[in-house]
Amino acid sequence: MPDSDTPRLLVYGAYGYTGRLVVDAAIDRGYDPIVAGRNAAKTRGVATANDLRARSFPVAEADAHFDDVDAVLNCAGPFAETVDPMIDACLDTGTHYLDITGELPVFERISRRGSDAVEAGVTLLPGVGFDVVPTDCLAAHLHGRLPEATHLSLAFDADGGVSPGTLKTALSGGGLEGAARRNGVLRAEPVGERTRVVDFGDGLQRAVSIPWGDVSTAYHTTGIPNIDVYLALPRAGRTAVALAPYVGGVFDTEAVQRGASWLIDRYVDGPDAETRASGEAHVWGEVRTPDDRLVSRLRTPETYRFTAEAAALIAEKVLDGDAPDGYQTPASAFGPDLVLEIPGVERVDFVADEVVSRESSPGESVASD
């Protein structure tokens, strides 16, 4: 166990699917995080299983529980409902704030607290999981390759299923409104408004536009004024996206959402251990000017495995005092090569269709093309 001088990490939402993975990853890095959440019985279960301290409280009472911790890692979504009181408590107590959100409006809200965080000497760093570490790092890397870029496009394709928390967020209605950035301004548009064909490295796939967090975070990281993000989907998935605006109202009533939430908790779990161990995700990025176009790609571990490892890595860096104060993205805090510190990550650069460089995380051998 770390000694009493080791910085303290509190993981809120520790009994959720992703929260449990994050706790395990933090323990693997030598921390004994305080596990926390609203449900006392579930929180105690995680604490007992790992010989950790437990705290149970609703987010509205977070202020009373952060005085003796150095950083909070929020794994409790939908984050639109938890982020504001958590950040208020962090600013009041001088506690660094991290989360694993992918919700575009949440990134925008947190970014507006940046000056408050600087004044408090606090780091606000949302999106420390698959949402949005690989895409943010790839955006920063591409910007470094073409600093004068005016357009950035990102896309990803992921194996495995979804966790209960991710599904609840989707059903809350946030998944029905899309967005892109145009000339530095967020523009609303339907999800799937645009499609494009992307080569992730194993053949062409069709992808649809989505409101991924990078529409906010990549602009903060790079300053590129035009940003689109795409998700690869099979034909059935693209059809479902096209129909979503017409059936979204079905989930608008509070009673229906409560019922859906109960069913999700009872019957839905995230990817199993075998899928997490064997699955992969692929991320593609393109920057361009009127005269130039560059492409880079990432291969990463399965998204939930990646999220746990990335969140624990970033928490360690924040606890070590390596993060700047104020609002940060993963790449603005730690640079584009942060993603390469996670085992199993590989990055490949292209000019047009030509491979120009190839990098992988430490200790991984990479076969030549």
The three-state (H, E, C) secondary structure of 301-359, written as one string: ECHHHHHHHHHHHHHHHHHCCCCCCEECCHHHHHCHHHHHHCCCCEEEEEECCEEEEEE
Contact (Cβ atoms closer than 8 angstroms) between residue 294 and residue 213? no
Residue 243 confidence (pLDDT): 54
Closest CA to 189 of 179, 203, 200: 179
**100 or 5, higher pLDDT:** 100
Q: Which amino acid is present at 29?
A: R
Indicate the average pLDDT of the chain. 85
pLDDT band, residue 190 (cuts 50/70/90): confident
Contact (Cβ atoms closer than 8 angstroms) between residue 287 and residue 330? no
pLDDT band, residue 262 (cuts 50/70/90): very low
CATH number for the segment(s) 9-129+305-334: 3.40.50.720
Q: What's the pLDDT tens digit per position in 158-179? A: 875 444 444 444 444 444 467 8
Mean pLDDT across the stretch 69-96? 95
User: How far, in Å, CA of 220 to CA of 314, rounded?
Assistant: 18
Backbone angles phi, psi at 21, to 5 degrees: -65, -40
Q: Which CATH architecture has domain 133-303+340-360?
A: 2-Layer Sandwich (3.30)
User: How far, in Å, CA of 250 to CA of 268, rounded?
Assistant: 20
Question: Which residues are paired to 9 by β-bridges?
Answer: 71
Question: Which residues are paired to 350 by β-bridges?
Answer: 295, 355
Percent of the chain with pLDDT over 90: 65
Q: What's the pLDDT tens digit per position in 291-301? A: 999 999 999 99
**DSSP category for residue 239:** H
Closest CA to 211 of 254, 246, 241: 241
**Quick one: residue 72, left, alpha or beta (phi over 0 = left, psi -120 to 50 = alpha)?**
beta
Q: What's the pLDDT tens digit per position in 220-240? A: 999 999 999 998 876 655 565
**DSSP category for residue 33:** P
Residue 131 confidence (pLDDT): 86
Q: What's the pLDDT tens digit per position in 48-76? A: 999 999 999 999 999 999 999 999 999 99
Domain spans, the chain: 9-129+305-334, 133-303+340-360
Residue 272 confidence (pLDDT): 76
Q: What's the pLDDT tens digit per position in 123-132? A: 999 999 998 9
Question: Which residues are paired to 132 by β-bridges?
Answer: 129
Residue 97 has pLDDT above 90, yes or no: yes
Residue 259 has pLDDT above 80, yes or no: no
pLDDT band, residue 367 (cuts 50/70/90): very low
**112 or 367, higher pLDDT:** 112
Mean pLDDT across the stretch 206-217? 90
Residue 33 confidence (pLDDT): 97
Percent of the chain with pLDDT over 70: 81
Residue 175 confidence (pLDDT): 43
Residue 40 confidence (pLDDT): 97
Closest CA to 309 of 97, 7, 16, 27: 27
User: How far, in Å, CA of 139 to CA of 246, rounded?
Assistant: 33
pLDDT band, residue 191 (cuts 50/70/90): confident
Burial of 224: CB neighbours in 10 Å, binned 0-12, 13-18, 19+: buried
Q: The dihedral of CA 122, 124, 130, 132: what is its sign?
A: negative
Residue 195 has pLDDT above 80, yes or no: yes
User: How far, in Å, CA of 199 to CA of 311, rounded?
Assistant: 28
Query: What are the residues whose beta carbons fall under 8 Å from the beta carbon of 235, sequence distance 6 or more?
Result: none
Contact (Cβ atoms closer than 8 angstroms) between residue 273 and residue 327? no
Q: Is the peptide bond before 190 cis (omega within 30 degrees of 0)?
A: no
Mean pLDDT across the stretch 358-364? 67
**256 or 360, higher pLDDT:** 360
Q: What's the pLDDT tens digit per position in 313-347? A: 999 999 999 999 999 999 999 999 999 999 999 99
**87 or 367, higher pLDDT:** 87
Residue 363 has pLDDT above 90, yes or no: no
Strands, E, within 159-241: which ranges?
177-182, 185-190, 195-199, 204-209, 226-232
Residue 337 confidence (pLDDT): 98
Buried b / exposed e along 78-106 (16+ C-beta atoms within 10 A): bbbebbbebbbbbbebebbbbbbbbbbbb
Residue 161 confidence (pLDDT): 45
pLDDT band, residue 242 (cuts 50/70/90): low
Contact (Cβ atoms closer than 8 angstroms) between residue 12 and residue 74? yes
User: How far, in Å, CA of 300 to CA of 286, rounded?
Assistant: 18
